[in-house]
């Protein structure tokens, strides 16, 4: 029943996005969402008494690629509604309006790339302290970035290639997850697990998005000094003659003298054992003082017979407040990734 409702909601939202093709309609949508955000912030205390919480985030930025036109974009407006009254059952949803407005060098506003995306819609049931059951649409537990990709929660405006093209960002299905306390060599630690499986294939495709099916997998994480994670998954790309894939991934994040160092790596294999694609990144955030941070990221990515290359990102990020980030970065490397062009990117993100 939940999966059918998710399908119906996504189809309806897609129809809304298509029918609202005129600029005025999108302008009204943006204004409405902004108004709701203000109301949510103002009524936060009142919502707590009923168990409902309404929040979200937004980001805007400028892209100046080496090749092509400079663009100013309202990148996204995301609304998150949750319900938790300290009982066993919890609810969470996230509706996102992607790229509602753009302005190019021709001094024209457009919304041709705008669409609604139902990123998450699920119920959590707490069976015990160590077991929770989730059903609905949720982010795929693979690595770290995919689960924390909201603009105010990540250091850069560009997303690592390895986290974007090798596995589904979200699935419609069921998941069992939980956390168990551990003591290793006298040190208090914890172990997190997530076991998931797709029960309804994603029916909605955006632009060149890859649709996956038959998704299942697991993610395990040991919370200690290095926060080591292991990702395992199986799936098929929904295209003619696509093989079945097996994927393994590793991730970590640690802090050393104020520095944050993190990384992820993924390797896919086909059911016959051949290379199905791989990617990895290593990133550091170094404090400069006054809430400024210097960002460095090195990336590699390859997909057999499709695309391969390397990327580097150098940037500055200012944490204006705990919920506001100003980001500036230069992207270089291989000139094969058109959706993440080389050049300068600046953005501002706010969490509310």
User: What gap in Å lies between CA 270 and CA 305, rounded to an integer?
Assistant: 14
- From the list 146, 147, 139, 151, the residue with the least C-alpha distance to 163 is 146
Supply the pTM of this predicted model.
Answer: 0.84
Per-residue CA distances from 186 to 8, 32, 83, 183, 225 (Å): 51, 53, 37, 6, 14
For residue 151, the 8-state DSSP code is G
Give yes or no for residue 34 having a pLDDT over 90: no
Give yes or no for residue 141 having a pLDDT over 50: yes
Torsion, Cα 322 324 329 335, to 10 degrees, reads 110
Q: Is 171 helix (H, G, I), strand (E, B) or coil?
A: strand
Per-residue pLDDT of 206-232, as tens digits, reads 656 788 999 999 999 999 999 999 999
For residue 152, the 8-state DSSP code is G
- From the list 241, 264, 261, the residue with the least C-alpha distance to 253 is 261
Q: Is 161 helix (H, G, I), strand (E, B) or coil?
A: helix
Per-residue pLDDT of 148-198, as tens digits, reads 999 999 999 999 999 988 999 999 999 999 999 998 887 889 999 999 999
Query: What's the confidence (pLDDT) of residue 265?
Result: 98
Structure token pair of residue 99: 């790229």
User: What gap in Å lies between CA 153 and CA 324, rounded to an integer?
Assistant: 9
Structure token pair of residue 288: 């400069």
Interval 247-257 mean pLDDT: 97
Name residues whose C-beta falls within 8 Å of residue 33's C-beta, 6 or more positions apart in sequence. 77, 79, 97
Pairing status of strand 212-223 against strand 228-237: antiparallel
Per-residue pLDDT of 56-99, as tens digits, reads 999 999 999 988 888 899 999 999 999 998 889 999 999 999 88
Q: Rounded to the nearest 5 degrees, what angle is found at the Cα of 57, between the Cα atoms of 168 and 12?
A: 55
Task: Please report where in the chains the tokens 């998005």 appear, as a residue.
Answer: 209
Average of per-residue pLDDT values in the chain: 86
CA 281 to chain CA mean position, Å:
16
| DSSP secondary structure, 226-242, as one string | S-EEEEEEEEEESSTTP
């Amino acid at each position: 029943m939940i999966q059918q409702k998710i399908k119906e909601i996504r189809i309806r939202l897609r129809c809304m996005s298509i029918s609202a093709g005129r600029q005025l309609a999108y302008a009204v949508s943006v204004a409405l969402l902004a108004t709701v955000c203000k109301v949510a912030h103002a009524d936060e205390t009142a919502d707590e008494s009923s168990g409902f919480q309404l929040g979200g985030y937004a980001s805007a930025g400028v892209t100046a690629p080496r090749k092509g036109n400079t663009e100013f974009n309202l990148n996204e407006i995301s609304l998150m509604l949750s319900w938790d009254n300290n009982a066993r059952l919890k609810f969470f949803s996230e509706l996102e309006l992607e790229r509602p407005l753009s302005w190019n060098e021709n001094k024209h506003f457009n919304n041709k790339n705008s669409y609604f995306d139902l990123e998450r819609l699920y119920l959590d049931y707490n069976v015990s302290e160590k077991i929770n059951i989730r059903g609905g649409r949720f982010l795929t537990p693979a690595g770290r970035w995919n689960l924390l990709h909201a603009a105010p929660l990540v250091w850069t405006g560009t997303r690592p290639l390895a986290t974007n093209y090798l596995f589904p960002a979200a699935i419609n299905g069921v998941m069992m997850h939980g956390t168990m306390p551990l003591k290793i060599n006298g040190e208090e630690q914890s172990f997190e697990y997530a076991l998931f499986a797709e029960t309804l294939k994603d029916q909605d495709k955006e632009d060149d998005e890859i649709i996956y099916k038959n998704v299942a997998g697991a993610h395990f994480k040991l919370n200690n000094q290095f926060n080591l994670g292991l990702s395992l998954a199986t799936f098929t790309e929904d295209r003619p003659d696509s093989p079945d894939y097996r994927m393994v991934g590793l991730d970590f994040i640690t802090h050393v003298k104020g520095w944050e160092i993190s990384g992820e790596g993924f390797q896919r294999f086909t059911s016959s054992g051949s290379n199905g694609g791989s990617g990895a990144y290593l990133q550091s955030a170094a404090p400069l003082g006054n809430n400024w941070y210097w960002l460095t990221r090195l990336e590699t990515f390859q997909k057999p017979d499709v695309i391969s290359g390397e990327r580097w990102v150098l940037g500055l990020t200012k944490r204006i407040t705990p919920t506001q980030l100003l980001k500036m970065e230069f992207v270089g490397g291989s000139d094969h990734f058109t959706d993440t062009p080389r050049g300068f990117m600046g953005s501002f993100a706010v969490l509310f």
